[in-house]
Structure formats: structure tokens, C-alpha cells
Structure 1
Amino acid sequence: MEQWEEWSTSGGEMVGSFPCVCKISITGCPKLNLVAIELIPSLRGLHVEGCSFAVLRSMAVLSSSIDTLTIDNIKGLTKLHGEVLEHLKAVEDLRISHCASLQSIEEKDVNMAISMKSLAYVKINDCTSLESYSCPNNIAILTIECCPSITSSSFPTMDDLPSTLNDLTISKCDNMEVSWPLNSFLLSLKYLSIDGIPKLRLFPEGCLVNLIELTIENCDNIESIPDNGYGFLPRLCKIKCIPLLSPRRRCDRRIGKYWPIISQIPDHGVY
């Protein structure tokens, strides 16, 4: 519906036109700039793709029960800020992709950990202008891919609270400086995949004690594995660690300094 410009419903009631709708997907409507419809309390899933920011802003306020939000290729979206976030407190699953103008996912005066306190799954993909990202407190799965302008990521300080982060993937973010938290936030992490982060040099010691699977690829500037093997043994079951393998033979079973660590991992990929 490339020529669609306005979506409005008549009637004076605050709720009425779509009383049972639980999911709405608006895709490929670049000219749609006016959405004026009644509230939809039953709405739980929202997918907005190939539309303007005005559409996203109007749709986000329709229901306080939205728990799944997908944002893809939104024209004019530079900041996902308080004007939108304050209506999305129930969102558990957030996926943002191909938003070339997006620079930040919160403003300085908005605490995302509070405004999106239910957030458990986040995937950010191919947002080429995104500069930074702050991980929310309650997140379980975080994936950041193909965001070349992102320079930093940070994790919450929550020493007295249990961590929920289970799965972390960071891929093809050439300028990212990963700031590992020196607290308990990474203690719950079981799956860690790092690919194409040339500025990554070190890993935190003693924080990755529950890792089951570790993948490191195209991170050629990693300096070393700490002598205690990150403190993740004996739980680690699988490791794929390209920059520390054959180029420097650090894991060679005969002469490699890391072989005593690697040899204890059931699926280590070193033969």
C-alpha cells in the first residue's frame, strides 16, 4: 500500500474500532503519515516496517499491553526516546533493524531500565548510525550485529541483584569498545559469541564462570586468555576461538600455553 497516506476511524469512543485485535503489522507504507484510531487494549504484537517515524509514534500509544515490538527500516527515526518508550513498559521482545538514521535508543533523561522494565530479548541489526547501547537490567538475550558506528556498550551495575543475562552476541561492530562490568551481571551468562570486534583485547576474569559455549572470531587483537581460563572451567562445553588458534599456535597440544585449559573442554575444535 505504497500510496496510503491516512488511517483514521470515526466515532467518539476512546476504545471501539478493533476491540479484539492482538497483532498489527504495517509494512511498506512510506507515505502513511497520519494514524488516528482509537485505543486497542488487546494489542500485544506490533510490527512497523518501511514507514515513517510518525507511524511508529502513533501506533506505540495504542496499547499499554504491547509485549512484542519489531521496528524495521523506519524513515526519520534518529532516537527511540521517551515519547515512545514511556508507552512500551510491557515490551519483552524488541527487534530493531535497518534503521539507518537511528543514533540512540534512549535520551539522557530517560532511564531505559525503568521505561522498559519488562524487556527480556533485544536484537539490533544493521543500524549503521547507532553510536552506543546501554543494556537493560532484566535482559536475557542480547544481540547486536552490523552496527559499524557503535563505539561503546555498557552493562548495568547491579551487585545486589540477580542477573538474568543468558545469551550475548556481538558481531561486526568495527568500532565498538566493549566495557565489561566488574560486577555480577555476567555471572548468569551461558552463551557468548563475539565476531568482528577488532578493538576487543581482553576479557574479564572471574565473571564468566557459568559459560557453556564460547565463540570468538575475527577478533585478531585479543591479547591473551587469562591463565585461569576466564574462570569458566569446568562448565564450558564448546569453544571456537579463531584468533588464538593456529596463527600463534597458542592452543597447540604440544607447545601451546593454553592447551592445558583447552584440553578440558569437550568440544574445543583443536586437533
Structure 2
Amino acid sequence: MPEWRQWHVLGNGEFPTLENLSIINCPELSLETPIQLSRFQVIGSPKVGVLEGMKQIVELSIIGCNSLTSLPFSILPSTLKRIRISRCQKLKLEVPVGYYNMFVEDLSLEECDCIDDISPELLPRTRKLNVSNCHNLTRFLIPTSTESFYIGNCKNLEKLSVALPSAMTSLSIGYCEKLKWLPDHMQELLPSLNGLHLSNCPEIESFPQGGLPFNLQQLEIINCKKLVNGRKEWCLQGLPRLRELELVIYHDGSDEEMEHWELPFSIRRLEVSNLKTISSQDLKSLTSLEFLYIAYLPHIQSLLEEWRLPSSLSELYLYGHHELNSLGLCYLTSLLRLRIGNCCNL
């Protein structure tokens, strides 16, 4: 409705129990009086004044508002807990003049190319934070209140850091092509971290000095070539609570052969794909292993003949081994589920 300018709300409003409102492509619309809502979404509307009538709002979505240059912090109510901002190409997040107590607990920023820095002062209570496709973002200081953080496809991100001990439990980083290092002093600053997920970060070469947090339970590494090539220096055996280890790398023949890659005895779930070499000793000591997924490993036939897989296995997945022609697993008496795919010569 490109010509709609005013919505006259009478008394308690035409919709006294309205909870969810979406305004889509109504660029001239403004609200004259407050409307009591829980969730409000505005798409393609440049008038920020439409927010002034929202007094009890809990969730706010702003999408495709290219005239939005800043957030009107002064009119945002203290009830607001979740904000999603997407495709607002001129938006910048700046600390407002004077003290302001931001109550938002869940913030999502997507495709906002003018954002080059986000001050943690804006997010003193944010527990869940998602940042993606913000290509001018070069550095990010993670707020101490953040428990779950995802940053993805920020192509110019070079530095990710934590200033003070944080309550973070989950950290996910994906498609950050220029990022070379994880935050320093992770053991001290991220003591509660139990899930670390890295994907398509080709420049990360090693874990930070001092190692990973002791409470880490899940580690996922996908297509991080330099990091996987240096896996002998990971020292994962120092992580007593590590239960899941997933490694996925598309093989290009660059990983070097190594005699023994030490893994924690406590691992229950292991997924390995596209590694050039893996030795029989790598699995022999995993007496707690319950789930094993292996795919696209060269020389799988000879390796399986040498291996004696842990008898604790209850699930085994084999995929993409064209040279595999025979398989003997009768000693796996605890096996409950077996899946074999794309092994055309078996």
C-alpha cells in the first residue's frame, strides 16, 4: 500500500487482543497512537517513526529498510527482548550519547553492510547473538553476557576477541575467509564453552595458545584445511569432557601423514571425512566410542583389514569408498545400526 499514510487507532484499537502485526511495503505509513503488541515486523518501510507507538513489544523485525541509518534507542521499550534486522544497507550501530540500558536478549543482524563495528556497550544483556553477511565488519568484541554466538559469511572479519570472562556455551564461526585466529585465552575467558563449531575458515592455522576450554564437549571442524593439517598439535587428550569430535575436510592431498594422532579416550562420537591418512592406532584406544562415521578415506580396504574397531561401537556409517570390496565386522557384538552408502564394489 504505497500511498497509505496514517492509521487512526480509536480507543483501545480495532484489534484489542492483537499480538502480531506485520507491515510490508507501506513506505508512508505512521502510527498516531500506541498499539499494544508482542511481535512487530516491518518490511520495506522507511519510516522509523512507525516504531514510536510500540510500548509493550517483545519481538521486533526490521527487514529491507534501506533508509534506516540508526536504531532509535530512545524510543525502544524496556519490554523488547528480541530484535532481527536484515537487509538494512545503511544502518550503523553506534553507542547513543549518555547512558542507555539495552534490554535486548536475542539479536540477529543480517546483510547490513554499513556495520563495521559493534560496541559491546550496546548489548549488555544479549544472551543469543547472530551476525551474518555483514561484509564490512572487520573486528568483533564478544559481549560478556553472550551465551550463544554465531558469526557467518563476514568475509572481512579479521579479529574476534573476548575481553572479560564470558558465560558463553556455544561458539559457531563459518565462512570467515580472513579470520586467522580464534579468541586468545579461551580457557580462562570462555570457561563454560561446551560447543565449538568451525566451518570454511581456511586461514585458521591453530587453536589459541593455552588450548581449548576444559569443559568442551563438542568440536566440529568443517573445511578448515590449515587447521586440520596441523591436528597433531591440537592436544585434545587434555579435554576430559570431549564427547563428540567431527572432522570434515574435502581432501586435496595436502594433509601430511602422521604416525599417531592422539584423541581423548572419552570420545563417544567421531566423524571423519576426506582425510588423506588416518592410522589404525588413532581408533584403537577409543574404548568409549559408540558412533563412527568415515567417508572418502583412501586405502580404506587395507585400513579396515588392519583396524580392529572398538567393540563398544553401536553405530557405524561407511560412505563413498569405491575401492571397498569386503567387510568383516562380526566381532562388533554391540552394533545396532550399520549404514553403507556409495560403496559400489562391496
Output the TM-score relative to the length of structure 2.
0.62
Name 2:125's counterpart in structure 1. Answer: 138
Judged with a 3 Å threshold, the aligned counterparts in structure 2 of structure 1 residues 269 and 210 are, in CA distance, closer, same or farther, namely: farther
Amino acid corresponding to residue 224 of structure 1 in structure 2: S
Deviation of the 1:86 alpha carbon: 3.2
Determine the structure 1 residue equivalent to 2:258: 255
Name the stretch that deviates more: 68-77 or 208-217.
Answer: 208-217
Alignment of 1:39-188 (within 5 A): 39-40=34-35, 42-52=36-46, 54=47, 57-82=48-73, 85-102=74-91, 104-109=92-97, 114=101, 116-117=102-103, 119-135=104-120, 136-156=123-143, 163=145, 165-185=146-166, 188=167
For residues 148-184 of structure 1, the C-alpha deviation after alignment (integer angstroms, 9 at most, x for no partner) is 111222234x6xxxx4x22111001111233412311
- Distance in 2 between residues matched to 1:229 and 1:253, nearest whole Å: 22
Cα distance in 1, alignment partners of residues 98 and 55 from structure 2: 18
Instruction: Determine if the alignment matches structure 1 residue 28 to structure 2 residue 15.
Output: no
- Aligned counterpart, 1:37: 32
Return the letter of the residue paired with 2:258: I
Distance 1:229 1:242, change over 3 A: farther
Gaps of 5+ in 2: 233-254, 273-293, 295-346
Deviation digits for residues 20-72 of structure 1 (CA, Å, limit 9, x no counterpart): 3222110122xx324143222x22211000111x1xx2221113211100000
Q: TM-score, normalised by structure 1?
A: 0.77
Quote the offset at 1:93 in angstroms. Answer: 0.9
SS for the counterpart of 2:161 is coil
Task: Determine which structure has greater relative contact order: mean sequence separation of CA pairs < 8 Å that are 6+ residues apart, divided by chain length.
Answer: 1
Deviating beyond 6 angstroms after TM superposition, the runs of 4 or more aligned structure 1 residues are none
1:230 to 202, 209, 212: 212
Partner of 1:9: 8
Q: Which moved more, 1:244-253 or 1:220-229?
A: 244-253
**Given the superposition, is the C-alpha separation of residues 71 and 142 from structure 1 closer, same or farther in structure 2, using an over 3 Å criterion?**
same
- 8 A Cα contact 1:81 1:105, kept in partner: no
Q: Compute the displacement of 1:96 (Å).
A: 0.6
Distance 1:256 1:263, change over 3 A: farther
Tell me, yes or no, if the aligned pair for 2:116 and 2:137 is still in contact at 8 Å: yes
Q: Does 1:194 align with 2:173?
A: yes
Q: Which amino acid aligns with 2:180?
A: R
For the residue of structure 2 that corresponds to 1:61, the secondary structure is helix
Which secondary structure does the structure 2 equivalent of 1:255 belong to? coil
Structure 2 CA distance for aligned equivalents of residues 227 and 169 of structure 1: 22
CA RMSD of aligned residues (A): 3.0
SS, match of residue 49 in structure 2 = helix
- Residue 74 (structure 1) shift: 0.6
Instruction: Kindly indicate whether the alpha-carbon contact (under 8 Å) linking 1:240 and 1:269 is maintained by their aligned counterparts in 2.
Output: no
AA aligned to 1:146 is N
Residue identity over aligned pairs, in percent, reads: 23
Q: Which has the larger radius of gyration?
A: 2
Question: 1:89-113: CA deviations, max 9, x gaps?
Answer: 22111101111222x123452656x
Distance 1:261 1:19, change over 3 A: same
